[in-house]
Each structure stands twice: as structure tokens, then as C-alpha cells.
Structure 1
């Protein structure tokens, strides 16, 4: 008996150019060795585990990744390597992303940022760097959520004993979601707490403390497991401190202050807000890590779904063996997802490049771009993964085929390192508070063809500027209080911030097509840019029609133009997904194999040919 299999071959030069584009020319230097680690049998599927067993397996896999790579402090000194680490392990164990990124970027990253090389905490730093202890990051509290500036955990300083007393003053102040439930795993935590000296509150500072040993939680520290989450069996918990005495060396003060010879603590320059932002500085690169993991999962979902779509046969008029990928309904869903994933990956690459090009604290416009990128990249990945799961039918439900697990991962990523609506709202407020940056976009002339990326970019820029003008005009004319004015402007402002990110993404995708050297890569990228821009134009067609950017006939033609673009893109799909640097051997998903029927039968120990 024969089974459908993946047809055709891909030109290696085009594939390699697409890969180099997606990984910003750093695949071999920063990504490949991490990818190779995941081929180890420890990452083979282990079905039938309960939530605790799955969580402990994630700890074991994280240790394996750590042992195979350079030390965490070396990775922190090379941010591109950190971002690469964020992209890969979750493709095979979604819980491992959270463990590794919290340990590397947030917990040890705070030490790296504010206390690197300090001899008085060398033992704790070494435990984190060697991963003899895992590093939770304790900022979020049960009653305050993402409003970390309002947290209530307190660290009261006694100058005479030169110690701090760490205490949880109320139920609302319990640390929430940090990894504290497995008390027998040694851990050293970075804890955000209010620094209080002689009755005065000096704001939120980071503290490094021993949380647990193999014998259990340290004296004065208590924890309770949070309810179970789908797929991710990690030990998220509620943690509280009962007057825990810690040495003054626990304070990771960096340039936010220093101890005088008499033991008194002197605050550094700046106000409480600036010190708080310094204390939380690892959140900004953390958003790039979160976006990296999201786009990695988005690409993997598309790789699996589109390989399956080339094999999955259905009835069609005149034939009984038509692959589902040939249907326009399938193409519009998944080719559009492919276009947006390429666009979001290139937007992310641009945000990373701007972050890495700066010195010191990132500039305000760079932070805004990172905030937009994190929001759009995670939202888009969530939508892409959902579409891929649905297009794979019942096969998309099984954890063995990965996609459903990626959906669980994205449920956490959309709120990790800042809720997306809050991030975009912050950006919107900044955009509206400042003058328009750059030249004033004019209304573009109506094109003869809608599938023209340069015109689509111009149309988006015009809409973005007009929206900015309209919101500013309404806010300036409103005489109510600030909250009432801003509250009514919130949703249009969110639309403005989102549109800014989408325009930059389309610009990056179109620029990549112009710079491509291989004809096949150039054609594929141009097709993606057209499809991504056309989908955005169709979404906002009512606005463009009302503002005479397009006419009624063009608005009505958009659906057909998008289908034509999908048909033109079809021959390029194998090369586009091969550019992801994935393989059936890596992902171990039955429906991604060259013969999914045989692979699925082997997975369930059924009959095979």
C-alpha cells in the first residue's frame, strides 16, 4: 500500500537565503548549536505523565540545555545568544521556555545587571551560573498583578545589624506564579520588595535570597502550588515571607544606591520612578525573549500544518486524492498566517537590532518598538497557532503533533512581561503626547493594482497619520478630566499603536524582498509582502473607502485579489517553510513526517506497512 508523501524539492540557495533572513544572519553562530541540543533523546515525547512528572521533566531538560551550552553569564553577555535560546527549547517542551528564561534573563540577569562580580554574593551567583540552583523571579503579587510598582512585599533595613527583614504584610502581597511549589529543588530567587529604612519607603528594589535547598524551603518561607494549567506542569506557586532575616548583601542595588562605611544606605541619583525602571530593567529584553518564543512556535506550527496539508488528501470534483493545500479556503487561512509570521519575525529582528545598537539604557523610541513588537508578535502567533490547529483537524488536537501545546504556551506569552493591551496603551499615550515624527504622509493616488507593496505601505502610513490627527483633535477639544478624555481615546489609541507596528513589519518584509539575491526568494518574499498588506487593507477597507483611498469597486475586489495572491504564492510554500530551519527529526510530530500515516501508526503502536 502507498501513502501520500511530501512532493518535490527546494532550491538550497533560496532556502538558505530565507533562513539567513529569518535569523538575521546568525543561524550558524547563535542558533544551530541550541537546535542540535534538542535532538537528544531526553526531548523525545514521554506520554502519560501527570502534571508534576511533566514539570520535573522540564527541570531535567533545562539542566540538559544548560550543560550543553556556555554558562548563563556568558549568554547574558551576548544578548543575541539569549534571544536564540528563547526560540528553540519550547518547540519540544513548552514549560522549558519559562524555566530557562526566568532563570537566565530575569533572575540571573538582574544579578548580571546590578551586581556582577560582587564577592559578597559570589556563592549565590555561582549556584545560579552552574545551575546547581534554579532562579525564580518574584515580582508579581496576588493582589497587584502587572502593577509591580504597587507591590507590598517589604524589606526593612536595620543599620545596626546590617540586615534586612523580608516580610509579606498581607494576603494580597503574596508572590504569585513564581516557581516555588517544588520545595525540594534548590533555588535562589530574585525578589522584588519595597526598601524601607527608618520608616521611609524608598520604592521597589531587587534582593537575592536563598529560597530552598534539597531539604525544602528555607526557614520563614512558605509556598503553596497554584492550580494546574493545561500542558505546563510547572510548580507555579503562592509564596510568602514571614520576617525572613537576610544580610545586607542581598540587596542588588547597582547604581541605584550604595552603603556608606557606617552601614547606612544612600540612594543614587534620580527619583523613585527612575530607580524602579532600573530595578526592572530585565523586563525589556525579556519582552524580546517572549516575542522570540512566540514566533518560534508560530513557525513550527506552520511547518507542521503545511507539511501535513501537502499530504492530507480529500475528495474534489473529478478526483479523490486532492491535497487540502490546493483549496483556496485553506490557502487563504494558512498562507496569510505564513505571510504574517514572516512579517512579525522581521519586525522582531528590527526591534532586536535597534535594542542591540544602543548603549546603556534603551532609548524611549526603542522601548516603544519593543513593546509594540511583543504585543503584535504574541497576538499574531496565538492566531496563527489556532488556525494551524484547526486546519489540521483532529490531528491538531494531539500533543504528539505539538500545535495544541504551542497554543498553551501562547496563552502565557500574551501576558508575560507585560499585558499586551497595557503595553500598546503605553505606546499610544507616548505617540499622542509628542509631535508627529518624520514627513507627513499624503493620501496616495488610487492604484491600478492593489497588490503593490509600496502603495500598501503608503496607504497604511496615511491611515496612521490621519488616525493620530483625529485622536489628538478630539482630546484637545475635550474639557473633561484627564482620565475621562484618555479613556475615550484608549481604543483608537490602541489601534494607532498596532497600526504603527504593522506598517513597520510590512516595510521590513518589502525591504527584504528588494534585497533578496535569489530569484525564488525574491518572488516568495514579494508575494508574502503583497498578501500581508492586502489582508490589512481588507481589514480596514471601510476606513480606506470612507477616506477615498480606494473606491467601491476596489473594496469589493479585495477578496478575489487575495485569492489570486495565494495562488501565486503556492509554488513558493516549500521553500518558505524550509527557511525555518526545522525538520521532521527535530519536531518529532507524526503529521510533519514525510509519510504521516506510517508515522502516526507507529506513534500509537498500530499496524504499519
Structure 2
């Protein structure tokens, strides 16, 4: 039986990780995943797995309120991003593209329009799935350069949607299963009277149960492991669509005589407005990544408490008791908590914006998406390795999460590109706020407040040094910026890590339960110590630590892991996961019996 104080600490940690919204926004989504449709299925080929993902997505849709209601409540959308991938990686992709990108674009630019009510209802009722077609084979992340065109004919008041060449085929959108009804949001270049007016979203019927609509061709992309979906190459061959297909929003309007009139602002501003779902999409991607990170830790650490090894003097030592296991795994636990709280802060700032998010908020979201998905990739890889052969099996989930993260690190913007953009913005403006003080030398390197001050000082020094170097470079802006790129990336990354540590330490200070305070403080120290060790040469060169302290960091981190150890079970219980939900044999209370049952069931 769980001690009352431990249960209270578990509940407080859960409320912290889910920003006090678990019951209101997360629990019903989580509950939908207990349905047998999410039970593991062995031996499926990729097409069967893909069609199962469509069935599972329909189940989630039926269990919740309508998608348009979810879009009106962004916290609910972020929660939806966090759970389905824990049991089916492909279902997450389908749901997020449908809800956030496809229907979300309609919500942003054409909500309530009667001339597209039939298509909107098909998406809202999920009688049709909604692909999002932006990326083209020849352009990757450079959506602004795409070449799919929509030519307007004022006489007939229709558009002709066309793919001008192989490089302009829509790439990776879900178009391969032509017998599944779909309504797509297609990003295309609007052309009127020979003028290129930039990239706009269009809503079109892509397919019915009878197959792809006339003039539309699609071919399946090569197979992908785990994510057996119908990613395809899609070609539009002079497809005629009504003018209602244009989701112009405030980017323009049709005059009474049928002419199209551009809205205010320049082409760049209109393009960013057309791509409005990318920013909340980055928060969805980060949510999914950290959900998988926490699930991996839950599975691996429960297994680590049971997996017995031969140690000096005993044949029954759980692997979790080894320092060589504790350092990578407890460090991963600390970073998962820190990244989750960083994400919560980014969500809160985004939701506080009454209109378009400010440049500062967008920068924080960009940093968060990059750091969260990179960190999740590292955590999942570590968990997979620490589980040995058990980590390889899909039935134990962790390997599948690794496949998910391979896509998330480049989804909604490549991480290096996002951090490079943030770095450019940080270096182009004056330092915001007070200049951090030079932290004094301390004897206890594990003190979180000192670690925060040390990171803030390094962040400012990096910013100042890069600015001075660029100002003194006479070769031209590109050459100066190119040489500053990698230090700039380090600056942007450090900005996010410093905020994450502040959030983790602040949470420990504001916790009500003594056990929660101790657990979070232990994680904050461990997270900060790992950052200090990574950049120990810099802190040594700047006389913030001495040579003896630099050499002692290995031992300091090991001792901090020993401080974390008594809190591990409570910390992972705060994830609101359970063996019954995840259905991973090695996460069960008796993993040996569970694994044998799984194997025997498959043999039968």
C-alpha cells in the first residue's frame, strides 16, 4: 500500500507536470487508450498497421469532443498530442495532421464559412481524414519557395490547381490509401492575371471511398519502420476547384465583382499568417516527444528495479543500484522533468498572447521544440540501451518511441534551423533585462541557485563575445554570421537550458509536500551539474571553478545520483502512467511472468 505522504507527493508531481490540467484536459484522452483497439497487434505488415492507425484515430475522435471544439481550447490540443503516440506512433501523426494542420488552418482562416461547410463538417465529423500538403519533394522545409500553383480565372471564378514538375509534387502527405475519404489543406502559389501573390492555403476534396478525385495522382513513398502510414507523392494535373477553396482569412478577400484583393502587410507577413498552425504545431510536437520520453523512463526504470544481476557478494542486485546505471538514467529523468517544465512555460506564454505571439514567445517555442525533441531522442536511446535485449522489442514500446523521435526532430521545422533563427534574433538585439552578475566561487557545486547564476553568466558572456566578433569582422555579413553560427547555436541552447533549470528549481521551492520538494531539488542539482560538467572547460577558463572542482565533478554527480535514488519510484509515478495503460511486459509488476505470457500468446 502506498504511504499517504508518498501518494500526496505523486499527485503533486502529476499536477506540476500537467500544469494542473490533468483531470480537465488529459484524463479522458488517456482513458480512451484503454480500449482493446489499442491492444498490441503482432505480425502486421505496414499497410495493415497503417489502416489500424486510421481505425484507432477514429476511436479517439469518437471518444472526445469534436475537433473544432478542441481547436478552440489549445491546452486540449496539446494534451491530445501527448497520449496516443504512447500506444501507436502512427495514430499521433494522423491525429495531429488532421486536427492541428489541416482543420486548424480552416479554423484560423475560414471558421464558420458557409461556402465550405460541407467539407468542414466532413473533417469535424471525421467522415474524411485531413492531410496537410505543404512540403514539396524539391524544397523540403523551404515552403515559401514551393511551386504548386493555383491560377484564378475571374470569369468562371474557379482555380486551377497544378503541379508544374516532379520537384513540385507534394511530399509525405497522407495520400497513398486512395480509398479512404480525405479533404486536404493544400499550400499553393496563388496566381492572378499573371501575378504571383504568394503562398495561400486551399481546401479541396482529395479522395472518396471510390478513390482519388479526377486529376489527382498519388503514389506511396517507400516503407518506413513502425510508422506504417500512407505517406505519398501527390500530383495535381489541372484540377479545377471553386473559389471557395481559397482559405484567405484576413490575407485578402473577393470583391463584389469577383476580383481578389490582397490584405494588408507584405508577402512575408501573409505567408507567415498562412502557415499559422506551425507555431502551435511545434508545441504539439514537443508534447509528443516528452510524453514518449517520460513513458520510456517509466518502462525502463520499473524494469531496472526488477532486473537482477550478479554483483560482488550477491546474485540478486537490481541493476538500478549501480552508479553506472544511475548516472545516465537519473540524468535522463532530471532532464525529462526540466524539459517538461520548460514546455509548460512555453505553453503558458503562448496561451497568454491575445493576438499573434510576440517574437520573444516564438523564440521560446522554437527553443523548446528543439531542446525537447533532442532531449527526448537522447533519453529514449539511453532507455533502450539500458533495457538490453528487452529494449529492442516493439512490445516494450521504447524502440517504437525512438522511431517517433526520428520524425519529430525535423517536424514543424528542423531543430538546427529553429535554433539558428533564435540565435540570429538574440544577436541582433540588445541584451534584454539586467546584465547577469559574475557568480562567486562556491564550495558546493550542487547548489541550484549558484548553477542558475553560472549558466546565466555564461549565456551573457557568449552573447557579448559573439557580438564583438561579428562587429569586428569586415568580410561581409554572411561570412561573419557563418563563423558565429555554432557559438550562436550554443547560446540559443543555453538560453533554453537556463530557463528549464529555473523552472525546475522554482517548482521545488513552491512545492507543498516535503517529499516533492526534496525530489525536485535533487533533480535540479543533477540537471545543473550535468550542464556544468559539459562546459567545465569554459567555467575553468573564466575562473568560476578551479581545477580541483573540475576534476571532482564526476564524483559530485555520482553522489547526487545517490540523493535522487530514494525518490525515483515517486518521480515516475508522477507521470500518470500505469502498466495497464502501456501494456509493455517489462513495465509490469512481474516482468518475467508478463513476458512469458506475451511470448506464449504469440506462439499460440
Measure, in 2, the Cα distance between the counterparts of 1:480 and 1:82: 47
Matches within 5 A, 1:20-31: 20-31=15-26
Measure, in 1, the Cα distance between the counterparts of 2:166 and 2:392: 38
Deviation at 1:194, TM superposition (A): 0.4
The one of 421, 446, 452 aligned to 1:451: 446
TM-score normalised over the length of structure 1: 0.98
Corresponding residue of 1:278: 273
Measure, in 1, the Cα distance between the counterparts of 2:3 and 2:518: 18
Aligned length: 603
Q: Cα distance 1:606–1:213, how it changes in 2: closer, same or farther (>3 A)?
A: closer
Matches within 5 A, 1:376-391: 376-391=371-386
What is the DSSP-based 3-state SS (H/G/I as helix, E as strand, rest coil) of the residue aligned with 2:171? strand
Residue 295 of structure 2 is aligned to residue 300 of structure 1: yes
Corresponding residue of 2:202: 207
Contact 1:584 1:592 in 2 (8 A): yes
Deviation at 1:448, TM superposition (A): 1.4
Matches within 5 A, 1:210-609: 210-605=205-600
Measure, in 1, the Cα distance between the counterparts of 2:220 and 2:290: 30
Residues 420-472 of structure 1, C-alpha deviations (whole Å, 9 max, x = no match)? 00000000000000000011012201111000000000000000000001100
Matches within 5 A, 1:150-161: 150-161=145-156
Deviation at 1:606, TM superposition (A): 7.4
Matches within 5 A, 1:42-121: 42-121=37-116
Deviation at 1:485, TM superposition (A): 1.2
What is the DSSP-based 3-state SS (H/G/I as helix, E as strand, rest coil) of the residue aligned with 1:605? helix
Measure, in 2, the Cα distance between the counterparts of 1:9 and 1:324: 28
Contact 1:22 1:346 in 2 (8 A): yes
Contact 1:10 1:575 in 2 (8 A): no
Measure, in 1, the Cα distance between the counterparts of 2:6 and 2:438: 41
Residues 8-37 of structure 1, C-alpha deviations (whole Å, 9 max, x = no match)? 998110000000000000000000000000
Contact 1:545 1:555 in 2 (8 A): yes
Contact 1:10 1:574 in 2 (8 A): no
Deviation at 1:483, TM superposition (A): 1.4
What is the DSSP-based 3-state SS (H/G/I as helix, E as strand, rest coil) of the residue aligned with 1:11? helix
Measure, in 2, the Cα distance between the counterparts of 1:480 and 1:204: 35
Measure, in 2, the Cα distance between the counterparts of 1:414 and 1:237: 20
Contact 1:163 1:248 in 2 (8 A): yes
Residues 498-527 of structure 1, C-alpha deviations (whole Å, 9 max, x = no match)? 000000000000000000000000000000
Measure, in 2, the Cα distance between the counterparts of 1:72 and 1:607: 37
Measure, in 1, the Cα distance between the counterparts of 2:257 and 2:601: 75
Measure, in 2, the Cα distance between the counterparts of 1:232 and 1:444: 48
Measure, in 2, the Cα distance between the counterparts of 1:415 and 1:261: 43
Corresponding residue of 1:140: 135
Measure, in 1, the Cα distance between the counterparts of 2:586 and 2:205: 45
Measure, in 1, the Cα distance between the counterparts of 2:136 and 2:324: 45
Deviation at 1:607, TM superposition (A): 12
Q: Cα distance 1:70–1:606, how it changes in 2: closer, same or farther (>3 A)?
A: closer
Q: Cα distance 1:556–1:416, how it changes in 2: closer, same or farther (>3 A)?
A: same
What is the DSSP-based 3-state SS (H/G/I as helix, E as strand, rest coil) of the residue aligned with 2:505? helix
What is the DSSP-based 3-state SS (H/G/I as helix, E as strand, rest coil) of the residue aligned with 2:34? coil
Measure, in 1, the Cα distance between the counterparts of 2:426 and 2:412: 21
Corresponding residue of 1:166: 161
Residues 346-399 of structure 1, C-alpha deviations (whole Å, 9 max, x = no match)? 000000000001111001100000000000000000000000000000000000
Residue 21 of structure 2 is aligned to residue 15 of structure 1: no
Deviation at 1:564, TM superposition (A): 0.4
Contact 1:184 1:216 in 2 (8 A): yes
Corresponding residue of 1:3: none
What is the DSSP-based 3-state SS (H/G/I as helix, E as strand, rest coil) of the residue aligned with 2:600? coil
Measure, in 1, the Cα distance between the counterparts of 2:281 and 2:430: 29
Measure, in 1, the Cα distance between the counterparts of 2:131 and 2:112: 20
What is the DSSP-based 3-state SS (H/G/I as helix, E as strand, rest coil) of the residue aligned with 1:35? helix
What is the DSSP-based 3-state SS (H/G/I as helix, E as strand, rest coil) of the residue aligned with 2:595? helix
What is the DSSP-based 3-state SS (H/G/I as helix, E as strand, rest coil) of the residue aligned with 1:437? coil
Deviation at 1:193, TM superposition (A): 0.4
Measure, in 2, the Cα distance between the counterparts of 1:89 and 1:408: 15
Q: Cα distance 1:138–1:579, how it changes in 2: closer, same or farther (>3 A)?
A: same
What is the DSSP-based 3-state SS (H/G/I as helix, E as strand, rest coil) of the residue aligned with 2:454? helix
The Cα RMSD (Å) is 1.3
